[in-house]
Structure 1
Amino acid sequence: MEGGYLVGALILLGLASATDPSPLQDFCVAINDAKNGVFVNGKLCKDPKLATPEDFFFSGLNIPGNTSNQVGSTVTPAVVPGLNTLGISLVRIDYAPYHGLNPPHTHPRASEILVVVEGTLYAGFVTSNPDNRLFAKVLYPGDVFVFPVGMIHFQLNVGSGNAVAFAALSSQDPGVITIANAVFGSDPGINPDAVAKAFQLDKNMVRQLQSRFWSGNNCRV
């Protein structure tokens, strides 16, 4: 019986550590200046007595992002000091017409929920090994799609006009690993022999891809 309790405790511990830690206070407005700060949960926070509505406010997600880059998309985060320690984040994603792409990537620390507000997107994610099953749909304004934590996912503008979506994530710092960046743009570069074998490509093609590596779209989601 004791073994059963131990297994249960371990499962609960694993679930508890799967998301950002719960805050031990109402809020923790992040600041860089220690003069007016207090440490709470190991974070440097503004004294709650000095907090203002502006600490919980951000303006600008109505402004279109610049999609003039190699992938045709850009990600604009909502930078709100009061989000610190609350375990959530929010971004706007803009996609250029005719296949603007938020390229395949993964978030190691967060699930994501995406809502389309303009245009038509083809969005999906791929499950882990060994199935590598694709879940994907064409989305229209008002549609919502969920990307589970850690799954490789993407969005592609399949319309002739601009597309816009908003995404919320279950971490204040979800992390992002863009697959192309990681494989072909690491610093220093991965040995071409390893990449060629993994992707079943000619080694010269791998070298060419590494030399043409693009900088990305400020992707955070």
Structure 2
Amino acid sequence: MAVVLVNGLVCKDPKLVQANDFFFSGLHLAGNTSNVVGSKVTPVTVAQLPGLNTLGISMVRIDYAPWGINPPHTHPRATEILTVLEGSLQVGFVTSNLENHLITKVLQKGDVFVFPVNLIHFQRNVGYGNAVAIAALSSQNPGVITIANAVFGSKPAIPSDLLAKAFQVDENIIVRMQSKF
């Protein structure tokens, strides 16, 4: 039997499909937030849950330490809708060029906020306790591009003189930023 690919993934023979192809366990577990940004994203995409292939949905659990952040990032293939389960989060996104307008709000437990597809967005725990959110995404493989990692941590590195000109800062600042990624 020939291998059939759908969305670049092997499509399982329907006769061999099992309940576990549509099951994920673990969103009840708090993520380890003892890292430089103070957050942990637990994804449930097609990589973790094969049954999501072709369904156009996925989700994540995000845990935040006090004042932890989910750094500015984009999802190139998905809109995101986030619900706060615990704590208070400042959330926001930036509209596209030329306006680059920041849309931001502080959310409380039970509040919902939408981040349009491919716009840079972020979350920050503005409380003194832990915070937890669940987000749904409109793709089984939403992708994520964390802005700082992409700009300062690319392999090979974006030339520091180019970034210095783009950010209008001294090149030594760029070199220092690149050393952190």
TM-score tier, shorter chain, comes to: over 0.9
1:102 matches 2:70: yes
Q: Equivalent residue for 1:63? A: 29
Amino acid at match of 2:161: D
1:199 matches 2:167: yes
Q: Equivalent residue for 1:128? A: 96
Per-residue CA deviation, residues 42-98 of structure 1 (Å, 9 max, x unaligned), is 75222212222222111110000001111010110122121111111111001111x
Structure 2 unaligned blocks of 5 or more: none
Could you tell me how far apart the structure 1 residues matched to 2:42 and 2:178 are? 27
Q: Equivalent residue for 1:182? A: 150
Per-residue CA deviation, residues 134-168 of structure 1 (Å, 9 max, x unaligned), is 11100011100000001000000000000000111
Q: Equivalent residue for 1:218? A: none
Could you tell me how far apart the structure 1 residues matched to 2:34 and 2:134 are? 19
How many pairs align? Answer: 177
**Stretch deviating more after TM superposition (143-152 or 198-207):** 198-207
Q: Equivalent residue for 1:19? A: none
Could you tell me how far apart the structure 1 residues matched to 2:25 and 2:146 are? 27
Taking structure 2 as the reference length, the TM-score comes to 0.93
Q: 1:60 to 1:41 in 2, by over 3 A?
A: closer
1:84 matches 2:53: yes
Quote how far apart the aligned CAs of 1:182 are: 1.1
Structure 1 unaligned blocks of 5 or more: 1-34, 214-221
**Contact 1:38-1:47 at 8 Å conserved across structures:** no
Q: Per residue, is there more helix in 1 or in 2?
A: 1
Could you tell me how far apart the structure 2 residues matched to 1:182 and 1:54 are? 34
- Which is greater in Rg? 1
Q: Secondary structure at the match of 2:172?
A: helix
Q: Equivalent residue for 2:116? A: 148
Q: Secondary structure at the match of 2:163?
A: helix
Amino acid at match of 1:67: T
Q: Secondary structure at the match of 2:30?
A: coil
Taking structure 1 as the reference length, the TM-score comes to 0.76
Could you tell me how far apart the structure 1 residues matched to 2:64 and 2:119 are? 21
Deviation above 4 Å: which 4+ runs of structure 1?
40-43
Per-residue CA deviation, residues 115-134 of structure 1 (Å, 9 max, x unaligned), is 11001000010000000011
1:93 matches 2:85: no
Quote how far apart the aligned CAs of 1:171 are: 0.9
